Structure 1
Amino acid sequence: MSQGVQVSGLYVRDQDEALSFYVDKLGFRVHTDVRNGDFRWLTVQHPEQPSFQLGLFRPGPPMLDADTAKALSAMVAKGAMPPLVLGVDNCRAAYERMRGLGVEFTQEPVERYGSVDAGFRDPSGNGWKLIEERR
């Protein structure tokens, strides 16, 4: 029997805004975009990882009640969620390219732990680390 993670989700304040960010600025592509009433299942993929999808979900029904959704949205906006990691072969070059596209960086590239990393946020406040993969 084989198994593996296929989808990991992020909570976003606006799915269209998130879709534009992940596709136009980070280079992901749409995998699935379907609606069921007010619920929208929206996933994107990095072109170099076709077996993995990143879900861009709004907090709320059917997964969360209204009070929990509101509290979670506030936490995401403050950057309180654990960061995700985007591996790159050249952190400084990726930083310059992404900054030129309007990505909001919270940390410029820094050398540490034998690598280079930088920090950025998506429009909803989700934190990301841009980490240069060790050679």
Structure 2
Amino acid sequence: MDTGNDVRLAQCFIAVDDHDKALAFYCDVLGLEVRNDVAFEGMRWVTVASPDQDVEIVLEPPAANPDCSPADKQAMAELLAKGMLRGVNFTTPDCDALFERARAAGADVLQEPVDQPYGMRDCAFRDPAGNMLRFIERPRSAGA
């Protein structure tokens, strides 16, 4: 049985310290939709995604693993507060329009839209929890 094309990305995880602020940003500003919003083991698990794709972003509390020690949970919360945890890269058909929408909503601007030497145009923000999000506009193909 050929399984070469059977592996697909389903979810990625972003730590957030306030689900309601995160939802306002990811849904109201970026236009993602809520796929799940459930309580589980004393925590809130929320997934958001673009209406046009299957990949979901899980908005999870820092150090959501129940096996984390209190010291590990504190360290994760401190790293999140400093914006030191990794974020997500998105694609968008219009980097400039997305930039203006996010800036108008009060997002923390890290990089204004710029043409990169490798052909992409991109910009970057921090979400309300401090995660870095990069938005990439791929070059349009000739004739598009």
- Give the TM-score of the pair, scaled to structure 1: 0.89
Q: Distance in 2 between matches of 1:90 and 1:121?
A: 19
- The alignment status of 1:122 with 2:130, answered yes or no, reads no
- Give the number of the structure whose alpha-carbon radius of gyration is greater: 2
Q: Distance in 1 between matches of 2:107 and 2:49?
A: 18
Q: Distance in 2 between matches of 1:94 and 1:28?
A: 13
RMSD: 1.6
Which structure has more strand as a fraction of its residues?
A: 1
Q: Is the 8 A contact 1:39 1:61 kept in 2?
A: no
1:36-64 alpha-carbon deviations (Å, 9 max, x no partner): 34122211111121x11100000245253
- Give the TM-score of the pair, scaled to structure 2: 0.84
1:1-48 alpha-carbon deviations (Å, 9 max, x no partner): 523221111111111221121111111111011113412221111112
- For residue 62 of structure 1, what is the aligned residue in structure 2? 66
Structure 2 gaps, min length 5: none
> Number of aligned pairs?
134
Letter in 1 for 2:66: P
Structure 1 gaps, min length 5: none
1:90-130 alpha-carbon deviations (Å, 9 max, x no partner): 21122112212222211111111222111100011000111
